[in-house]
Amino acid sequence: MTGKADHEERRRQIAEALLRIADTEGLQSASMRAVATEAGVSLRLVQYYFTTKEGLLLDALARLGAQLQARMERWIGEARAPRAVVTAVLSCVLPTDAESRRITRTYAAYYTLVLNDPEVLAKQAAQPPAVLEGFLAKQLRAAREAGEIAPERDVEMAAAGLLAMVNGLGSSVLGGQRDGEQALAILRHHLDELFGGPGAG
Amino acid sequence: MTGKADHEERRRQIAEALLRIADTEGLQSASMRAVATEAGVSLRLVQYYFTTKEGLLLDALARLGAQLQARMERWIGEARAPRAVVTAVLSCVLPTDAESRRITRTYAAYYTLVLNDPEVLAKQAAQPPAVLEGFLAKQLRAAREAGEIAPERDVEMAAAGLLAMVNGLGSSVLGGQRDGEQALAILRHHLDELFGGPGAG
DNA sequence: ATTCGCATGGTACATGTGTATCACATGCAT
DNA sequence: ATGCATGTGATACACATGTACCATGCGAAT
């Protein structure tokens, strides 16, 4: 046989074709045929490897999530100081470079889909933000105990607010209202306000 | 003739049918036929009053914007104090009651559409946030000059951050991650932090 | 009474969609 | 050599969509 590596490779190839289309033209343009053409395979193959369109959408979403997580870990790097970690996590989801623009746009394309699908999709997509928020709160608490944040500050509230803010900032960048650098500046400003003042890069 | 009042009334009736569908089932389900059925008219009439689907979408979006603005003015009411105005504007766009949930969900439905349409739609939808942000900044500056906000605070940054935050909070509520009251609590917390402390109503 | 323009209904057409079906290859186990 | 599972192709089908076209009614101006 051709080996299971080829099988998974084909799936990856097709799913990434979907993500590419979702990024550039939106999910509504990601028909089975369009995905097949983009991936350079026949329509039948897309059907063969994913059976149904919902399966393809779900698989691609999972891959997108993995890509975002990989980007986060890359941005966190060897940072151990809570403030550096928080800054990395928040700023890496802002559409500032090509990769983040791609990921953000593609997530936005899925967003509308999730809103009107009480199916598995909603469950799959509502979990990551919650754990991320918990992670941020933990980091902020550590920073507070280290004296970098005023003791009276509520870290859960701050974490929720910051996460919502980068989400909204991302939307404004995608909507063409402002530029990625400006969004980053706004985020940095609020981080400076939360922590004592301007911190190291 | 039947009078121009009837004409405009028909347009309103049809456009609101679209908005109702966009709210409950998403814009992708808002086909010409579905809108016609929802409005209780024939497909031909939808064509007659709006010619093209794009025209219908644009008109409905304009009406949605008017509804949101009306809601804002209603929420601002007779409030004159900057803090009260800012609080009203920001909290009235959070999905806390039926009307705001409807408006927010419908805007979200349009959002994806705007992302992949460099047409008139983008221009039409990118303007309001900018003027709203300017309005908020002005209110915050007034509050700062009145001593309610620390003099070293940057009001433009704060306005941009708050607007992005309510936007992100709205998304999280729509995504089922939290409830409207919790979102409101997070917003209030950050307003308390920006202004000296808890304020009246 | 005729004519004209607006309003309305019904329906056709071309296209795009997801999915199903039939056909053929190719390689491995028996 | 034969049979069977996996991979691949081409095409058919049923349906939904936006838009265009033809016909009819009906009030008003001539």
Which nucleotide in the DNA or RNA is closest to residue B45, CA to C1'? Answer: C8
Reading the block at residue B63, the tokens are 């009406």
Measured from the CB, is B33 under 7 Å from any atom of strand C?
no
Which chain B residues are within 8 Å of A108, Cβ to Cβ? Answer: 111-112, 115
Q: Do residues A137 and A155 touch, judged by C-beta distance below 8 A?
A: yes
Helical H segments across A51-119, by residue range: 53-76, 82-92, 98-115
Cα dihedral angle (A114, A117, A122, A124), rounded to 10 degrees? -90
The percentage of chain A sitting over the pLDDT mark of 70, rounded to a whole number, equals: 96
A150 at B interface, C-beta within 8 A = no
Residue B110: count of CB within 10 angstroms of its CB: 21
Residue of A25, A172, A184 best to disrupt the B interface, most CBs of B under 10 A: A172
Q: How far is the CA of B18 from the C1' of D19 (A)?
A: 18
A32 touches strand C (CB under 7 A): yes
Structural tokens at position B103: 């408006």
Percent of chain A with pLDDT over 90: 86
Q: At a CB cut-off of 8 Å and minimum separation 6, what does B1 contact?
A: none
Q: Helix, strand, coil proportions of chain A in percent (round to 5)?
A: 75, 0, 20
> Is the per-residue pLDDT at A171 higher than 50?
yes
Calpha distance B137→A140 (Å, rounded): 28
In contact, B105 and B127? CB cutoff 8 Å: no
Phi-psi region of A167 (alpha: psi -120 to 50; beta: other; left: phi over 0): alpha
CA quadruple A31, A37, A42, A47: dihedral sign = negative
Sort residue B14 into left (φ over 0), alpha (ψ -120 to 50) or beta.
alpha
pLDDT tens string for chain B (201 positions)?
Answer: 455 668 899 999 999 999 999 999 999 999 999 999 999 999 999 999 999 999 999 999 999 999 999 999 999 999 999 999 999 999 999 999 999 999 999 999 999 998 888 777 777 777 889 999 999 999 999 999 999 999 999 999 999 999 999 999 999 999 999 999 999 999 999 999 999 877 755
Ordered by where they begin, the domains of chain A are 1-51 (1.10.10.60), 61-194 (1.10.357.10)
Helix A98-115, helix A155-174: angle, nearest 10: 100
* CB contact at 8 A, B122 and A147: no
What are the pLDDT digits (tens) for A112-123? Answer: 998 888 777 777
Residue of A nearest to B25 (CA): A116
User: Which of residues 2 through 41 in chain B touch A, CB cutoff 8 A?
Assistant: 25-29
Work out if A188's Cβ lies within 7 angstroms of strand C. no
CA distance A8 to chain B (A): 30
Contact B36, B102 (CB under 8 A): no
Residue A137: closest CA among A166, A167, A157, A164:
A157
Q: Which of B117, B155, B165 to mutate to test the interface with A (most CBs of A within 10 A)?
A: B165
Asked if B189 is an interface residue toward chain A (Cβ–Cβ < 8 A), one would say yes
CA dist B146 and B137 (Å) reads 14
Instruction: Say whether the CB atom of B1 is under 7 angstroms from strand C.
Output: yes
